[in-house]
Structure 1
Amino acid sequence: MASITVDIVAPDQTLWSGTARSVTAPTVEGSIGLLPHHEPVLSVLAVGVVAVVSDDGSRTELPITGGFLSFDHDTVTIVADPGSGVAAS
């Protein structure tokens, strides 16, 4: 199964990094779901939860208060302002 490379960072820490089946994130234009081979996108994030489904099927949810998302060549980079309760993994 194809996967995407994911890096989710805050200004002072890495929140999540690895490969995943999918990523869902809240943007100012609505929720976006990213799967392998998605078209390139750059978006501003809104308050909400970033959800990552790892290659092993486990799900990680990270509350955020904003940031931005970049997706290109099966690599997603999210620079986020973490919400309460977010810790590095």
Structure 2
Amino acid sequence: MKEINLKIVTPERIVFSEKISQVSLSTTTGQITILPQHIPLVSQLTAGEISVKYNGNEEDLMAISGGFVEVLPDQVVVLVDTAERAEEIDEQKAEQARQRAEEILKTKVVDAKEFAFLTAQIEKELVRLKVARKYKKRGIRTGLNS
């Protein structure tokens, strides 16, 4: 089966760099799945889940906060603000962060800029929770190579 190189990069580190059979991610126009020999593409990413599949049908999950993806015939590069592997996410801390942001929105008058920031924070934490819970429920493989 054909493979494609996937690299996921944040300002702090290379989170993932490995050959895969497919990757699914959330763009501003919807969910896309990229396979080997995909047409070239550049797209903006939203906060969401990245699902990476390997030839053996194993799957890895990650949560991202948004960024860009560049697709070339033999390589996919994902540039994001933050990316966490499912096994790195602390579910309790993500829930607490979501609750804090929601509480500020309920109790404090905020300007449009702060409202947008808090809304994005809530969305990011909800994605982290979704990925962590899915990982826990499915027992998705660990040990991603970087």
CA RMSD, aligned part only? 1.9
Q: TM-score, normalised by structure 2?
A: 0.55
Q: TM-score, normalised by structure 1?
A: 0.88
Unaligned runs of 5+ in 1: none
Unaligned runs of 5+ in 2: 90-127, 129-144
Larger radius of gyration: 2
- What is the aligned partner in structure 2 of residue 18 from structure 1? 18
Give the 3 Å change call, closer, same or farther, for CA 73–83 of structure 1 in structure 2: closer
For these two proteins, the number of residue pairs brought into alignment is 88
CA deviations on 1:2-56 (whole Å, 9 max, x unpaired) are 1000100111011111100000010011011000111111000001111111244
Would you say the 8 A contact 1:19–1:55 is kept in 2? no
- Matched residues in 1 for 2:30 and 2:45: separation? 9
Would you say the 8 A contact 1:5–1:18 is kept in 2? yes
Which structure: greater strand fraction? 1
Identify the structure with bigger relative contact order (alpha carbons < 8 Å, sequence gap 6+): 1
2:45 equivalent to 1:45: yes
* AA of the residue aligned to 2:16: W
